[in-house]
Structure 1
Amino acid sequence: MAAGWERAKRAMAARLCVRAPRVRAAAEGEREGEGEGEERGRTVAASPPSRAASRRLSRSGSRSSTRICAICLGGMWSGNGQALFTAECSHKFHFHCISSSVRHGNLVCPICRAVWKELPFQGPLPAADANNGTARVNPLDWPLDDRQQRQQQRMSVARRLSRADSVTRQWQLPVYRSLNGGGVFDDDEQLDLQPENVVQSQDDVDAMVVGSVGITTYTAFPAMEESVAQEEFAILIHLKAPSSPAPATSRRAPVDLVCVLDVSWSMAGTKLALLKRAVGFVIRTLGPSDRLSVVTFSSAARRLFPLKRMTEAGRQRALQKVNSLVADGGTNIADALKKATRVMEDRWERNPVCSIVLLSDGRDTYSVPAPLGGGQTDYSVLVPSSLLPGGAAQHVQVHAFGFGADHDSPAMHSIAEMSGGTFSFIDAAGSIQDAFAQCIGGLLSVVAQELRLSVECDDDGVLLSSLISGGYASHVDGDGRGGFIDVGDLYADEERDFLVTVRVPAARGESALITPSCTYRNTVTMETVSVGGNTATVPRTVDPVSSDMSPEVERELHRLHATEDMAAARAAAERGDFELAISILDERLRALGSRAAALNDDPQCAALVAELAEMQDRVDSRQRYEESGRAYMLAGLSSHSWQRATARGDSTELTSAIHTYQTPFMVDMLQRSQTLQPAEVVMATMSRSSPALVASPSRLAASPPPRRRSVRPTWSFPGRH
């Protein structure tokens, strides 16, 4: 009976469910307990020990504290795979016992009640959270940020591990991390900090990033009459990111990437096979300093593996995990995004660039977005709060890929838009790899982060009227003398155009209008860079001014007008008025056609013509619109909103003139993907693709009049007399 009670006491201290000895009557309990030992096949709660036994246990614990763990009451011996922890008060415990105790908020010695300054626990302490009401305790009170605190804790643990024998050390780390496996993803592979990957000199920096962000301004007209005041004079600010000559090597900013993959039953068969091939391309493209994690979801989400460096061994393990995927269950996008966001938030160490890539071919069957009225829907229920504006993970962009005719394109577009990412539409299964390749080509070439464009007015009386920034957040000061646009990340050689309108008073000589500048973080050196632009000036003259607008400003106005018409056509199609949608797009095609002679050689205007014609073809009926038109238009709106390339349709359109936002590295990665595509995938893609409607100036001139005039406000060119 004594042996049975001893095992029960140890199990109770460890909070385990055990087989305890059955309590008998006083007359026969002792005899039957000794004869039968513990009752087999039945699990019951053990009765508490007697007061005398408690006194004996207390005396025994005080005499043998070096041999008995005061938490689990088990013996402690060095070696044999047991990790021991000796506190600063000289009391010794099993490492896993005291770590679990500290994790639950017990910050004092269980024996002498001494308050510890060095904790035997490297995971995050319980945090203040509105959902569960728990509080984070920081007994060390370090005046450091969270990352520095985590590094200090890891160094303290490393010093303790160095004093242990090799067997104990090999056993201790898995237990250390398993304590957090239930709710915290802190088991990522450590970053590669080898000397060959560290910037050694200024020559290395110059070899990684060529130049800095360039700022150029263009005024709408070359001059202004000195006696005339302009209420809205347009100025174009053009940004050009620096080049990065070697994006595929280690001479670039490394990436932390989480791929969120739909493996529901609808992905079974060829879809899943092509998805595995596409993820395999991503795995082989990432370098040894990049880390990848994969989250899969069907009815529930699970992390396939933590963030792993894509070394040769890491690639092989990742490929094995991905190739073992099977399709089954429903679609739970919200749970998958929560898990992917936790992977990003719980990182101990962080690469400079991070992103989430989400692919799904269906609708979320577990989270129902709330209607907002007027045909609008609130999709924030699908997005973790930390990804929303002002959230902790606001810098983590979600690049969403809607696949096939049955995916929820408005939901996927909203998820990407809320996080600052892009939405892409994949029509054919064979185009998944190409769409991923284009996105990865951008992520592997980020040269600037947290870029803010500032605008300051110069001459007295010059006031800032508006900053037309698309999807980027902008602000105009109350006095109208300045403002800014938060641009965020820039890929190598990426360009941005922002239209600024200012109020210009009558003046003589020359008017100094605005001076742009920007600040950003260099992803290679992690230093903040400030760049000043030249002041935009316009001469004042007494002679009449030519009405010919600057081609740079006119091109941007055409793009903005076309984007507005795309949104108006989509709104009409959502109401079921497909005739009006076609009319709106046709009207914009006519406007571009009237300038065909002047803009014939301009690739951006040619791309707008092709894009509008393709949209017009995809909204000619409800069936066509719901199959591909809605997703195609949303991908186009996402592209123009962020001025960044997105996938639309199939691979033939990825290489067409429509994608003027593609960077050289995107094109290079896309060509690599298409070179590696097997013949059967290419044939499957070509069989699904439909020839794009590319409108020419002659076709526009011969096109019939619109079937219905659109009724909406027009926007005249700012600054035109």
Structure 2
Amino acid sequence: MGSKWRKMKLALGLNLCVFVPRTLEDSPSLPDCDSTERFSDAALLSPAHWGSSRPSTPTPSSHGLIFSKSGSKSSKTCSICLTKLKQGGGLAIFTAECSHSFHFHCVVSNVKYGNQICPVCRAQWKEIPVQGPNLDPSPGRASVGPAGWNQNNALMTVVRRLPPPRRDLSRRLIVPLCQAPEPGVFDDDESLGNQTICAESSCNKNSADGDSTKIIQMKTYPEISAAPKSKSYDDFTVLVHLKAAAASVTRQNCAGNQASLPQFSRAPRAPVDLVTVLDISGSMAGTKLALLKRAMGFVIQNLSSSDRLSVIAFSSTARRLFPLRRMTDTGRQQALQAVNSLVANGGTNIAEGLRKGAKIMEDRREKNAVSSIILLSDGQDTYTVSGSGVNQPQPNYQLLLPLSMHAKDESGFQIPVHSFGFGADHDASSMHSISEISGGTFSFIETEAVIQDAFAQCIGGLLSVVVQELQVAIECIHPKIHLGSLKAGSYPSRLMVGGRTGFIDVGDLYADEERDFLVSVSVPVEPSSNSTPLLKVRCVYRDPITKQTTTLESDEVRIERPEMGGEPGVISVEVDRQCNRLQAAEAMAQARIAAEQGDLSGAVAILEKCRMALSQTVSAKSHDRLCVALDAELKEMQERMASRHVYEASGRAYILSGLSSHSWQRATARGDSTDSSSLVQSYQTPSMLEMLTRSQATYLGSPSAQRLVQPLLSCRSQPKPR
């Protein structure tokens, strides 16, 4: 009976990615956990604490808790680097006015961006150390500490010598598994191997045969179908609509080596390099960390052997748990063990976590077709930017991103960071800025229970990329027509000199994903012709599997020009719908500005005015689904501005996640659910919905629950309601 119980615990530990304590049967020599010392997350991630007891290969017995045999003697530890404080050896000690002690070089690194908050008790410091120049005239004799700071420095002294507090540091030690010391360069990524996802010859044939196998479908809609000859327009709107084909359609005859993948859909797809940057600060302790581990377990189990994953854990410092590794059976097991070993403690250093994540992407020797970073945090970065308030300047959130993530890579498209703000205490403004700068989305996870669903929706998209480096070019045809504006949300757009040509850089598209852009043009009087050619649209994109570049051109966009007494043109519901979406997004942005300035009543009035305007439009009167959802979203935002407390707790994050979704036209997690009836999920694709349903089915705890996913697969062949 005891053996069966041990096996069941082991199975639960693998499937749910949670800690499974050992029993006396597992380890008869288990020491008393109360007499041992437990270190925080960053200490566990440091090679100094691994020791020789770390197993070289994963074994079933290594899934339980592993305790150290150290005694209960208290020790003084620097709460920044989490190594022991020792006098001498060239390492000076700084004791702050709150009585907490740190290595001098750690404090200097911690405060160099203006942070004056104690990482232990959060007290505001009035005196901070400053590192001066090196006063040692002897070249080559400078002593350098582990953080790279010069130790032979006249200012490297103890500024204050208040007695440190007596603290009981008796904790259990959990030894992380399957890790190696971090190299200086992260070029140790696992080789991609021989990926036989799709035979190029058959793919090329399919992509060229018939409309049913085109990767992108393009349509254009003028705002009205006809305009009188004698009338001119300064701001005539044309809608450019793009839709990526379903993954199962683009290469339906391609065969791949995916028989062993744990997936419902076996359509060939582009493999992914994914780096997850996870907050394991002290505020993540308990249920939050347990559910984060479960969510990461779901991600790991749903990646294929062609996908590669690396995990960064950060608190006061950041540590790479393992290099980019293919998610084979062995890779999954080792990744689950590494995530299982995490414990929560310390501060929140988002910038350091992102720097390390960017470095993994920069240093890798090989690259999969799709690359992305997922960031989750429930707190505010106190190491790089200072908090904002009524009497404080707006923080520079760009400091949270390394410079390499501001610039585009050699192909012209940057690696997106999809950020997830967790709970009421996270810094929604910084997380939104990170995603906006990098080209990713920002999701607001209001309650703990939906972490896994939020991750599932995100990877459902990342695992279905069918178009890359998509660029849309708009060119005027009529010699008297000029482009006025390109309304493309957050996508980079530009008008060329003379206003005759414009470009929109779209980047990646997931399977079944849609994009709508509004182009404003001037239309002249046309006395001598019965029609006016306006413009032509051209798309250039790359297939992530075949690496082929394809150009697709639309037909000419024309409007009829009847005589003055002719029939009026029909108003396009498609154009009106997208105008409403942009109008609602603009109202959200304006309301947020008013709310940040303390004018909540003004913000509510802005949203109410937009709701009234939308209700009078053609698409709203026809009960258009998008317009109904827009109204519901604006009303929800009004309710989340009922008071300053409500706005700070959820209103700001709710609005920012909505703005992120609208500006990129991509689904984000929102509030306390991923209910497909909400507006933000109007951008959900079948692949996202499939992965989301799969995630929700795992909660039922039975393999038979996976049958719930099967009815969903039929929606792949059905058009999305508009």
- TM-score calculated relative to the size of structure 2: 0.67
Q: Flag structure 1 segments of 5+ consecutive residues without an equivalent.
A: 1-43, 45-130, 133-176, 681-721
Other-structure match for 2:174: none
Please give the secondary structure, in 1, of the residue aligned with 2:675: helix
CA distance, structure 1, for counterparts of residue 619 and residue 214 of structure 2: 36
1:242 maps onto 2:263 in alignment: no
CA distance, structure 1, for counterparts of residue 531 and residue 619 of structure 2: 33
Shift of residue 678, structure 1, vs aligned partner:
5.0
Deviations for 1:446-474, whole angstroms, at most 9, x for unmatched residues?
A: 01111000011001101111111110111
1:210 maps onto 2:228 in alignment: no
CA distance, structure 2, for counterparts of residue 577 and residue 371 of structure 1: 17
Shift of residue 394, structure 1, vs aligned partner:
5.3
Amino acid at match of 1:231: D
1:287 maps onto 2:304 in alignment: yes
Q: 1:538 aligns with which of 559, 568, 572?
A: 559
1:500 maps onto 2:508 in alignment: no
Deviations for 1:269-310, whole angstroms, at most 9, x for unmatched residues?
A: 000000000000000010110000000000000000001111
In the TM superposition, what are the counterparts of 1:651-690 in structure 2 within 5 Å? Answer: 651=673, 653=675, 656-678=678-700
Other-structure match for 1:229: 232
Q: 2:659 aligns with which of 637, 646, 657?
A: 637
Shift of residue 350, structure 1, vs aligned partner:
0.6
Q: 1:557 aligns with which of 562, 579, 582?
A: 579
In the TM superposition, what are the counterparts of 1:305-324 in structure 2 within 5 Å? Answer: 305-324=322-341
CA distance, structure 2, for counterparts of residue 450 and residue 377 of structure 1: 32
Please give the secondary structure, in 2, of the residue aligned with 1:257: strand
Please give the secondary structure, in 1, of the residue aligned with 2:364: coil
In the TM superposition, what are the counterparts of 1:340-355 in structure 2 within 5 Å? Answer: 340-355=357-372
CA distance, structure 2, for counterparts of residue 303 and residue 379 of structure 1: 23
Amino acid at match of 1:238: H
Other-structure match for 2:599: 577
Other-structure match for 2:401: 383
Please give the secondary structure, in 2, of the residue aligned with 1:225: coil
Other-structure match for 1:197: 197
Deviations for 1:157-186, whole angstroms, at most 9, x for unmatched residues?
A: xxxxxxxxxxxxxxxxxxxx99x9531001
Amino acid at match of 2:539: C
Amino acid at match of 1:191: L
- Indicate how the Cα distance of structure 1 residues 239 and 591 shifts in structure 2: closer, same or farther if over 3 A, else same: same
- 2:591–2:606 contact (8 Å) kept in structure 1: yes
Deviations for 1:429-486, whole angstroms, at most 9, x for unmatched residues?
A: 0100000001001100001111000011001101111111110111111111111100
Give aligned pairs, total. Answer: 505
CA distance, structure 1, for counterparts of residue 657 and residue 238 of structure 2: 28
CA distance, structure 1, for counterparts of residue 532 and residue 557 of structure 2: 9
Shift of residue 610, structure 1, vs aligned partner:
1.3
Other-structure match for 1:512: 533
Q: 1:566 aligns with which of 588, 604, 612?
A: 588
Please give the secondary structure, in 1, of the residue aligned with 2:418: strand
1:339 maps onto 2:356 in alignment: yes
1:525 maps onto 2:546 in alignment: yes
Q: 1:256 aligns with which of 273, 286, 292?
A: 273
Deviations for 1:315-359, whole angstroms, at most 9, x for unmatched residues?
A: 111011111110011000000000000100111111000000000
Other-structure match for 1:362: 379
255-264 or 605-614, which deviates more:
605-614
- 1:283–1:318 contact (8 Å) kept in structure 2: yes
Please give the secondary structure, in 2, of the residue aligned with 1:497: strand
Other-structure match for 1:120: none
Shift of residue 677, structure 1, vs aligned partner:
2.1
- 2:676–2:682 contact (8 Å) kept in structure 1: no
- Indicate how the Cα distance of structure 1 residues 354 and 624 shifts in structure 2: closer, same or farther if over 3 A, else same: same
1:483 maps onto 2:514 in alignment: no
1:436 maps onto 2:439 in alignment: no
CA distance, structure 2, for counterparts of residue 679 and residue 637 of structure 1: 36
- 1:603–1:660 contact (8 Å) kept in structure 2: no
583-592 or 269-278, which deviates more:
583-592
In the TM superposition, what are the counterparts of 1:84-233 in structure 2 within 5 Å? Answer: 181-194=182-195, 196-199=196-199, 201-202=201-202, 206=206, 210-233=213-236
CA distance, structure 2, for counterparts of residue 494 and residue 229 of structure 1: 35
- Indicate how the Cα distance of structure 1 residues 599 and 277 shifts in structure 2: closer, same or farther if over 3 A, else same: farther
Deviations for 1:639-663, whole angstroms, at most 9, x for unmatched residues?
A: 0111111111122535535411111
- Indicate how the Cα distance of structure 1 residues 531 and 259 shifts in structure 2: closer, same or farther if over 3 A, else same: same
- Indicate how the Cα distance of structure 1 residues 597 and 660 shifts in structure 2: closer, same or farther if over 3 A, else same: closer
- 1:425–1:635 contact (8 Å) kept in structure 2: yes
Amino acid at match of 2:681: H
- Indicate how the Cα distance of structure 1 residues 238 and 652 shifts in structure 2: closer, same or farther if over 3 A, else same: closer
- 1:457–1:463 contact (8 Å) kept in structure 2: yes
- 1:387–1:394 contact (8 Å) kept in structure 2: no
Amino acid at match of 2:395: T
CA distance, structure 2, for counterparts of residue 529 and residue 589 of structure 1: 41
Shift of residue 548, structure 1, vs aligned partner:
5.2
Other-structure match for 2:628: 606
Amino acid at match of 1:182: P
- 1:211–1:243 contact (8 Å) kept in structure 2: no
Amino acid at match of 1:564: E
> Sequence identity, in percent?
52
Shift of residue 514, structure 1, vs aligned partner:
0.3
Shift of residue 375, structure 1, vs aligned partner:
6.2
Shift of residue 249, structure 1, vs aligned partner:
3.2
CA distance, structure 1, for counterparts of residue 353 and residue 516 of structure 2: 35
Larger radius of gyration: 1
- 2:667–2:680 contact (8 Å) kept in structure 1: no
Other-structure match for 1:454: 473
364-373 or 313-322, which deviates more:
364-373
Other-structure match for 1:711: none
Q: 2:671 aligns with which of 645, 649, 655?
A: 649
Other-structure match for 1:619: 641
CA distance, structure 1, for counterparts of residue 478 and residue 267 of structure 2: 47
Amino acid at match of 1:312: D
- Indicate how the Cα distance of structure 1 residues 666 and 203 shifts in structure 2: closer, same or farther if over 3 A, else same: same
- Indicate how the Cα distance of structure 1 residues 271 and 511 shifts in structure 2: closer, same or farther if over 3 A, else same: same
- TM-score calculated relative to the size of structure 1: 0.67
- 2:407–2:414 contact (8 Å) kept in structure 1: no
Please give the secondary structure, in 1, of the residue aligned with 2:537: strand
CA distance, structure 2, for counterparts of residue 633 and residue 665 of structure 1: 25
Please give the secondary structure, in 2, of the residue aligned with 1:503: strand
CA distance, structure 1, for counterparts of residue 559 and residue 267 of structure 2: 46
CA distance, structure 2, for counterparts of residue 491 and residue 398 of structure 1: 16
- 2:237–2:519 contact (8 Å) kept in structure 1: yes
Amino acid at match of 1:516: V
Other-structure match for 1:463: 482
Aligned-CA RMSD value: 2.7
1:420 maps onto 2:404 in alignment: no
- Indicate how the Cα distance of structure 1 residues 679 and 578 shifts in structure 2: closer, same or farther if over 3 A, else same: farther
CA distance, structure 2, for counterparts of residue 377 and residue 366 of structure 1: 12
Please give the secondary structure, in 2, of the residue aligned with 1:221: coil
- 1:441–1:669 contact (8 Å) kept in structure 2: yes
Other-structure match for 1:589: 611
- 2:619–2:627 contact (8 Å) kept in structure 1: no
Deviations for 1:497-555, whole angstroms, at most 9, x for unmatched residues?
A: 10001111111221100000110110110110110111100011112553752101111
Shift of residue 594, structure 1, vs aligned partner:
2.9
